[in-house]
Amino acid sequence: MATATRKVNWFAILVSVAVVLALVVTAAIVVWSNNATDDAGPAPQSASINAETGAIEVGTGEQTLDTYIDFMCPICNQFEQAYGESMQQLVDDGTITLGIHPIAILDRYSQGTEYSTRAANAMYCVAETAPDSAVSYMQALYANQPAEGSSGLTDAQLIEIAGSVGAEGVDACVSEQRYSGFVSSMTQQTPPNPETGRVGTPTVLLNGEFLQLTGDPLVDLAPLFS
């Protein structure tokens, strides 16, 4: 009796192999994406920086006032002009610890230069190297704030402004964007507004609770002045 010849379905085999390869590639992409998200890079090392929350802490008061800011955000600039003096008074009299959180949610408005990330990174560089100059640097960045939609300040300008407020030796940190990964990680941890579910700037928390801003610091911060 003749033995029947078994036909091999090469098409089905090739399809199966292709599916397996696609799954492997997909898994690799997922793993890479997860690793990329989880890799926050180095954290700035300074007693004035809370590496867990990302806050640049100013003052030693028992009560806390946390501000989440983006240096490309014009409303953040307006917030600083309106509330800055009152916040500094509360720091000086020992009422609050001010936590400044430089984050980056407006990179898309800087023509591909990622100005928000670069400026936040520079803020961490200054806070690490010259913590006493951190508030002055923040104010100087606002004083020189570029318009939304522009390319923003250059790294050289960020370094020059740091030097103008007494923060020397930040050149490599700024140009290498040493803490850009940390900025990204801290941005992802910014608490969303409980009313909208969105993250925005400025976000202000008083003792961990969202503060609804009226534009009048004497009204909004009244409990701290009593």
33 or 123: which leads in pLDDT: 123
| pLDDT at position 209 | 96
Domain presence at residue 83: yes
Going by C-alpha positions, the residue among 74, 66, 71 that lies closest to residue 50 is 66
Range of 20-24, 36-40, 171-175 with top mean pLDDT: 171-175
Look at residue 221 and tell me whether its pLDDT is greater than 50: yes
Query: In this predicted model, what pLDDT tens digit does every residue of 31-50 receive, in sequence order?
Result: 323 333 346 789 999 999 99
d(CA 65, CA 209) in angstroms, rounded, equals: 9
Q: Which structure tokens are listed for 78?
A: 């307006």
Q: Grade residue 172 by pLDDT with cuts at 50, 70 and 90.
A: very high
Three-state DSSP class for residue 60: coil
89 or 30: which leads in pLDDT: 89
Residue located via tokens 């090739």: 14
Query: In this predicted model, what pLDDT tens digit does every residue of 92-114 receive, in sequence order?
Result: 999 999 999 999 999 999 999 99
d(CA 178, CA 158) in angstroms, rounded, equals: 14
Overall domain count for the chain: 1
Q: Grade residue 198 by pLDDT with cuts at 50, 70 and 90.
A: very high
| Proportion of the chain in helix, strand, coil states, percent, rounded to 5 | 50, 10, 40
Look at residue 10 and tell me whether its pLDDT is greater than 70: no
Domain presence at residue 4: no
Q: Grade residue 122 by pLDDT with cuts at 50, 70 and 90.
A: very high
| pLDDT at position 57 | 98
| pLDDT at position 36 | 35
Domain presence at residue 50: no
CATH of the domain at 100: 3.40.30.10
Domain presence at residue 26: no
Q: Grade residue 51 by pLDDT with cuts at 50, 70 and 90.
A: confident
Domain presence at residue 36: no
Domain presence at residue 170: yes
d(CA 182, CA 184) in angstroms, rounded, equals: 5
**Mean pLDDT of the residues in the chain:** 87
**Does residue 202 contact residue 76 with C-beta atoms inside 8 Å?**
yes
| 15, 29, 208 from 127: Cα distances, Å | 57, 36, 23
Domain presence at residue 38: no
The phi and psi torsions of 7 (rounded to 5 degrees) equal: -85, 135
Q: What is the mean pLDDT of residues 151-178?
A: 98
**Does residue 132 contact residue 97 with C-beta atoms inside 8 Å?**
no
Residue located via tokens 């980056």: 104
Q: Which structural domain range is residue 161 located in?
A: 56-225
| pLDDT at position 9 | 52
Domain presence at residue 7: no
> What's this model's pTM, rounded to 2 decimal places?
0.82
Look at residue 17 and tell me whether its pLDDT is greater than 90: no
Question: Do β-strands 203-206 and 63-69 pair in parallel, antiparallel, or remain unpaired?
Answer: antiparallel
| 50, 53, 100, 121 from 47: Cα distances, Å | 7, 13, 14, 17
Q: What is the mean pLDDT of residues 135-149?
A: 98
| Side chain identity at residue 223, one-letter code | P
| Side chain identity at residue 92, one-letter code | D
